[in-house]
A and B are shown apart, each in its own frame.
Chain A
Amino acid sequence: MTTQSRHSPWLLGGIAVLVYLFLYAPIAVLTALSFNASRLSGSWEGFTLAWYLKAVTNPAVLAALRNSLLVALVVTVIATAIGTAAALGRQRGGGGGAAEASIMLPTVVPEIVLAASLLLLFASIGLRLGFATIVLAHVGFTVSYAFVVVKARIAGFDHSLEEAAMDLGAGPLRTFFLVTLPAIAPAVLAAALLVFALSIDDYVVTSFVAGVGATTLPLQIYSMVKSGVSPEINAVSSVLLAATGLLLWGTFLLEQGRSLRVAAVPAVLGLAMLAAPFALARGQAGRGETVLNLYIWSNYIAPETLAKFEQRHGVRVNVDLYDSNEAMLAKLQAGNAGYDVICPSDYSLQVLIAQGLLRPLDRAALRHLVNIDPLFLDRPFDPGNRFSMPYFWGTTGIAYNRRRVTVPVESWGVLWDPRYRGRVLMLDDPREAFMAALKWKGHSLNTTDPDVLARARDLLIAQKPLVRAYNSTNFEDVLLSGDVWLAQAWNGQIAKAMDQDPDIAYVIPREGATLFIDNLAIPADARQVELAHAFIDFTMEPEIAAEICRTMRYSSPNRAALPLLPEDLRRDPAVFPPREVLDRLETVQDVGEATVTFDRMWTEIKTAR
C-alpha cells in the first residue's frame, strides 16, 4: 500500500531529474555528435549522415555486425530454451534453494572472472578459439539472466491449466505446447530479447575468447575507440545503443504484461536496425572461397592493398588486429588461434621461434626477397631469416608540439622535466617505457641487471605525476588533441600526425632509442601455407611495398621500393632517419625469465602514487 508522501517533492524531483540527465547526457552527446559534420567534438559544423554511411559501408564493421548477429541468434535460442526449462522446473518445485542460487550466481560475479576462466577452459581442452567458443561463453553468462526473467514472470502461473489440459486428454508434450507455452510466451520472449541484447553488447568475455574472423561488433568498436576518437565510432555506437535500447523496451513491455503485438513494435524496430546493414555485408566465405587469415598490427596495412591481393589471387583476406606483441603472443600461445600470417616484432619472434610456434619459410616461394635491405636481415632474433621476413621497421622517439615545448628536445630526460607536468605521454609498453629510463642513464635496453632495472623503475615512478596517460594505440591523437605536449611514440603514426599538424615534430634522442623490426611470419598450424607465402612475397614487391609505406608511414625495409616513394616521404627524417642516427638504435630482445621481474616492476609503476 503506497500513499503519496508529504516530503518535499521539489528537492527530490530536482535530484531525480539531475540523475536522469546524468544517465542520458553521455548518450545524448554521443548521438548528437554522430550527426556532426566536423571531426572534432568542439565545433558543430552542420548536420550530416555521412558518418553513418561510412560506418555502414565499412567492411570491418559489417563483418563484425554479421558475426554479432549470428552469435546472438544462436545464443538466444540455446540460452532461452535452457533457462526457461530451468525456470519451469523450479516453479514446479524441482531442484532446491541451492540449485537456484547456483543458477543465479553468475549474474553477480565480475565479468573478468568469468572471462578468464572460460579462456582457461578452452585453452586446456584445446578448443580452437572462434565462433563456437564465443557462443559457448555467451551461453555461459546469459542463461542465468534468462532463468531470472522467466522465473519472475511465471511466478503466479496456474498449474490447474496444465491439469485441465491433461484432464481433457492432452499428454504431457501436447500440454506443454498447447497450453504452457502460450501462457508463458511473454516471459520467454522477454528473456530472449534480454539474452539477445546482452550477447550483442558483450565486450569483456568476448575479448578473451574470440578467435580468427570472429570479431564481434563490440570488439570492433573497442579497437576503433583505441585507435582514435572518430565520429564514425559515434555513429556505430549510436546505432548499437538505439537498437539494443529498442529490444530492451520490448522486453520491458512484455514483462509488464502488455500484449505481444505492442511489445513487438520496438523489438522489431531494434532488430531491423541491426539487420539492415547486414543485407549489405559481404557473406562469409562460401565453400569454394578461400580465406587467408591475417593477424597484424593496427595501422599496418591499408584496405586498398589487401584488395589488390584478393583480386589477384581470387581469395578473401580476413584481418584481425592487435596493438601489442604481448596480446599477439598470448593468442598464439593459447594455441589454435587459426591465423595464416602474423606480424611479430623482433623479440616476440624470438619467443615464438623458441617455442616452435612458427613454420620455416620456403625460400623458393619468396622471389622478391632480394628487394630487402640486408641491414634488416639476419638479425639475432631470427638468424638466417628462417622464419620471418622484415615488413616494417621503425623507431621509438619523442614526438612533441613545437609551439608548446620551446626548449630543445634532444634527450629522453625532457620527459622528466617538471615543466611538463601532466603533459607527457608514455607508451603503454613496459619494454618501451623502461627503454626511455635506461637509455637516458646510458644503459642497454636489454639489460637484466636487477639493480639497474630497479633504478630505472624508480625513475619511472618519479615520472608518474608528469604522465597524463599511458597509450600505445592512438598516442598521435592524444598529442594532436592537445591533451599532451610530449609523447613517447612510434614514428609511423607520428609521421601521419605531422601531416595533419605542422607543429608536431619527431626526434630520436641522442642517447639512442629502440629500433623495432616487425616481420611477417607463418604460424606452425597455419592452414593456407602456400597462400601465406604468396602474401609475404606480395608485400615485398616494389610497388606494393611502396604503397604500404606511403599509406602507413612506417619505414620500409624494401630497397627496391624506395625510388618509388614520393620525394618528401623519402627525405622525411621521422620515417627514414640518417645513418648515424640508425647506429644509435638498439633492437629489443626477449629477456626470458626476467619478464616476470619486468612485469612486477611495471605493476609497481602503474600503482605508484
Chain B
Amino acid sequence: MKGAVSVRGVTRAYGNVVAVCDVSLDVAPGEFLTLLGPSGCGKTTLLRLIAGFERPDRGTIHVSGNDVTAVPAHKRPVNTVFQHYALFPHRTVRGNVAFGLEIEKRPPAEIARKVDEALDLVRLGGLGNRRVTELSGGQKQRVALARALVLEPDVLVLDEPLAALDPKLRKEVQIEIKNLQERLGTTFVFVTHDQDEALVMADRIAVMNHGRIEQVDGPEALYERPRTRFVADFLGVSNLLEVTPHTRDHGRVRLRTASGLEFDADDDGGYELGRAVWVGLRSERISLVDRAGNVLDGVIDDEIFLGDWTDWRVRVGPGGDVLSVGEGNVLARSRRRGEVVSVCFPPDAVMRLDDDGGERPGG
C-alpha cells in the first residue's frame, strides 16, 4: 500500500473556471505515472492537489492508504520537484538538500550522510558547497531532485521539471530519471505537455483535457489505441476523419466521409450503421507503394520534408479529402505536385474514436 495514490471524484474550481472536474485516478505503488495534456488541462492542478498545496472542493485523496484530503502539504509523505526548482537562494547546495532533514530534527551526522548519498544519487557529489545561484539549469534540477528524494517520500511529484532544459540534455535527463525511479521503486507522478517525453518515461500515461482524464493506459496502448479524438490528436495521429458507416460485410465496415471518400475498417462491434463517428489513421500506416487493403487514387498536393521521413499530403476521394502520408526516406522517391498516386492502408489501421472530442459540455 505504501506509495499508492488514490484520487476519487476530485473537483477543484477557481471562480467560474473548473480546473479539475470529477477526476478519479489510481496510481500503483512504485509506478511511474505521467499526467499528459496541453496547458490549461488541469494536470498541474491535479498534481498540486496530490502534493497538498490545494484542497479539493469535492472528493478525496488517499496516499499510502491514508486519507490526506484535509492534511496540509507539510504533513504529507509527498515531495515535489518544482518547475522552476524553487531552490532556497540563501543556502548552499548542501543547505538546500538538508533542509527537510533539519526540519525533521535528525542528528547532524545523519543529515550529512544522507545529503552525501542524495547528491551522489543525482551525480552532484562534490558540488555541495556551491551557492545555488552559481549552478546551471541542469544542476539546479538535480539539486531539486536530491532535496525531494533525500526525505524518502512515499510519492514524488514532478511538475514539468525538464521544461527549461535544452532538447539534447532533456533526452539524457529523461533516461536518468527513469532509471532512478526504477532503482528506488518510489512512486513518481510526472507532469508534462510533451508527448514524446511521456512515452519514453511512463509506465502509464493519463491524458487530460479540460479538467478531465480522457484515457489512462500504457504507452503502447495509448499510441496504438487512442480512445478519443482528443487523445488521438494529442498523440500525433495526423489523419482524423468524420465518417458514417453504411454497410457491414464479413467483419468489415464500409465507412464514408461527408465528401464521399469510402474505405473499409475492421468491425470491432462498435460501429453503428448510419451514425457518424470519428476515426483516426496514423500517417505511417499509409503507403504509397503497397497495393493491399484499402486502395485509393490520389493526387500529390504537398511535400513536407522532415529529416528521416517525409509527410506527403495527398488529395483522395471525390471530395478532395487530404490525407497525411508518412514515408520513410529510405523508401523515398521524388514525386511532384499533381502527380497521380495510389494510397493504400489496411482496414485494421483504422482506429475508431469514442466521441467527437470537441468542447465538453459543463466546463
Binding site for B on A (CB under 8 A): 158, 160-161, 163-171, 174-175, 178-179, 182-183
B241 to A: closest C-beta gap in Å? 44
The contact of B84 among A160, A166, A167, A175, by CB within 8 Å, is A160
- For B73, B87, B104, B148, which residue has the most chain A Cβ atoms within 10 angstroms? B73
The contact of B90 among A165, A167, A170, A182, by CB within 8 Å, is A182
Nearest 3 A/B pairs, CB to CB: A168-B100, A164-B86, A160-B86
CA separation between A174 and B88, bound complex, in Å? 14
A163:B89 contact, CB within 8 angstroms: no
A179:B74 contact, CB within 8 angstroms: no
A-facing residues in B62-114 (Cβ within 8 Å): 72-75, 78-80, 82-84, 86-90, 99-100, 103-104
CA separation between A168 and B304, bound complex, in Å? 49
CA separation between A164 and B144, bound complex, in Å? 9
B100:A166 contact, CB within 8 angstroms: no
- Taking the complex as formed, is B316 at the interface, i.e. its CB lies under 8 A from any CB of chain A? no
Q: Which residues of B contact A175 (CB under 8 A)?
A: 74
- Taking the complex as formed, is B51 at the interface, i.e. its CB lies under 8 A from any CB of chain A? yes
The 10 listed contacts between A and B (C-beta, < 8 Å) are: A164-B87, A164-B147, A168-B74, A168-B148, A169-B103, A170-B103, A171-B74, A182-B90, A183-B88, A183-B89
The contact of B147 among A168, A170, A183, by CB within 8 Å, is A168
B73:A163 contact, CB within 8 angstroms: yes
Query: Besides the contacts A161-B88, A169-B103, A171-B74, what 12 more A-B pairs have beta carbons closer than 8 Å?
Result: A164-B87, A166-B74, A167-B53, A167-B73, A169-B74, A169-B75, A169-B151, A170-B99, A171-B72, A175-B74, A179-B88, A183-B88
CA separation between A183 and B87, bound complex, in Å? 11
A2 to B: closest C-beta gap in Å? 27
Closest chain B residue to A165 by CB distance?
Answer: B99
A167:B80 contact, CB within 8 angstroms: yes
CA separation between A175 and B72, bound complex, in Å? 13
Q: Which residues of A contact B80 (CB under 8 A)?
A: 163-164, 167
A167:B88 contact, CB within 8 angstroms: no
A168:B84 contact, CB within 8 angstroms: no
Q: Which residues of B contact A174 (CB under 8 A)?
A: 103
A172 to B: closest C-beta gap in Å? 8
Q: Which residues of A contact B89 (CB under 8 A)?
A: 183
B155 to A: closest C-beta gap in Å? 12
How would residues 128 to 170 of chain B score, 1 for a CB under 8 Å from any chain A CB and 0 otherwise? 0000000000000000000110010000000000000000000
Q: Which residues of B contact A161 (CB under 8 A)?
A: 86, 88
Given known contacts A168-B99, A169-B74, A182-B90, A160 and B82 CB-to-CB distance under 8 angstroms: yes
Q: Which residues of B contact A169 (CB under 8 A)?
A: 74-75, 100, 103-104, 151
Binding site for A on B (CB under 8 A): 51-53, 72-75, 78-80, 82-84, 86-90, 99-100, 103-104, 147-148, 151
Total A-B residue pairs with C-beta atoms closer than 8 Å? 64
A166:B73 contact, CB within 8 angstroms: yes
B74:A164 contact, CB within 8 angstroms: no
Q: Which residues of B contact A168 (CB under 8 A)?
A: 74, 79, 99-100, 103, 147-148, 151
- For B53, B83, B100, B103, which residue has the most chain A Cβ atoms within 10 angstroms? B103
A432 to B: closest C-beta gap in Å? 65
Closest chain A residue to B82 by CB distance?
Answer: A160
Q: Which residues of B contact A164 (CB under 8 A)?
A: 80, 82, 86-88, 147
- For A166, A175, A179, A182, which residue has the most chain B Cβ atoms within 10 angstroms? A166
Closest chain A residue to B100 by CB distance?
Answer: A168
Q: Which residues of B contact A179 (CB under 8 A)?
A: 88
- For B51, B88, B147, which residue has the most chain A Cβ atoms within 10 angstroms? B88
Q: Which residues of A contact B79 (CB under 8 A)?
A: 167-168
Q: Which residues of A contact B84 (CB under 8 A)?
A: 158, 160
CA separation between A113 and B79, bound complex, in Å? 54
B145 to A: closest C-beta gap in Å? 12
Q: Which residues of A contact B148 (CB under 8 A)?
A: 167-168
CA separation between A182 and B89, bound complex, in Å? 9
B313 to A: closest C-beta gap in Å? 42
CA separation between A165 and B74, bound complex, in Å? 8
CA separation between A179 and B147, bound complex, in Å? 15
Q: Which residues of A contact B86 (CB under 8 A)?
A: 158, 160-161, 163-164
CA separation between A182 and B95, bound complex, in Å? 14
- For A168, A169, A171, which residue has the most chain B Cβ atoms within 10 angstroms? A168
A404 to B: closest C-beta gap in Å? 71
CA separation between A592 and B340, bound complex, in Å? 116
Closest chain B residue to A181 by CB distance?
Answer: B90
Q: Which residues of B contact A158 (CB under 8 A)?
A: 84, 86
Closest chain B residue to A162 by CB distance?
Answer: B86
Q: Which residues of A contact B53 (CB under 8 A)?
A: 163, 166-167
CA separation between A514 and B104, bound complex, in Å? 83
Q: Which residues of A contact B83 (CB under 8 A)?
A: 160
Closest chain B residue to A169 by CB distance?
Answer: B103
Closest chain B residue to A163 by CB distance?
Answer: B53
B51:A167 contact, CB within 8 angstroms: yes
CA separation between A171 and B73, bound complex, in Å? 9
B251 to A: closest C-beta gap in Å? 54
Q: Which residues of B contact A183 (CB under 8 A)?
A: 88-90
CA separation between A440 and B39, bound complex, in Å? 91
Q: Which residues of B contact A166 (CB under 8 A)?
A: 52-53, 72-74
CA separation between A168 and B77, bound complex, in Å? 9
CA separation between A352 and B87, bound complex, in Å? 69
A251 to B: closest C-beta gap in Å? 20
Closest chain A residue to B79 by CB distance?
Answer: A167
CA separation between A179 and B78, bound complex, in Å? 20
Q: Which residues of B contact A163 (CB under 8 A)?
A: 53, 73, 80, 82, 86
B99 to A: closest C-beta gap in Å? 5
CA separation between A158 and B99, bound complex, in Å? 18
A426 to B: closest C-beta gap in Å? 64
A208 to B: closest C-beta gap in Å? 43
- For A164, A174, A178, which residue has the most chain B Cβ atoms within 10 angstroms? A164
CA separation between A167 and B76, bound complex, in Å? 8
Q: Which residues of A contact B52 (CB under 8 A)?
A: 166-167
Q: Which residues of B contact A167 (CB under 8 A)?
A: 51-53, 73-74, 78-80, 148
B161 to A: closest C-beta gap in Å? 12
- For B86, B89, B151, which residue has the most chain A Cβ atoms within 10 angstroms? B86
CA separation between A608 and B74, bound complex, in Å? 72
Q: Which residues of A contact B78 (CB under 8 A)?
A: 167
Q: Which residues of A contact B75 (CB under 8 A)?
A: 169
CA separation between A313 and B100, bound complex, in Å? 65
Given known contacts A163-B53, A165-B99, A183-B90, A170 and B82 CB-to-CB distance under 8 angstroms: no
CA separation between A169 and B105, bound complex, in Å? 11
CA separation between A174 and B102, bound complex, in Å? 11
B114 to A: closest C-beta gap in Å? 13
Q: Which residues of B contact A165 (CB under 8 A)?
A: 74, 88, 99
Closest chain A residue to B53 by CB distance?
Answer: A163
A187 to B: closest C-beta gap in Å? 14
CA separation between A183 and B86, bound complex, in Å? 12
Closest chain B residue to A167 by CB distance?
Answer: B80
A276 to B: closest C-beta gap in Å? 33
Closest chain B residue to A168 by CB distance?
Answer: B100
CA separation between A170 and B96, bound complex, in Å? 13
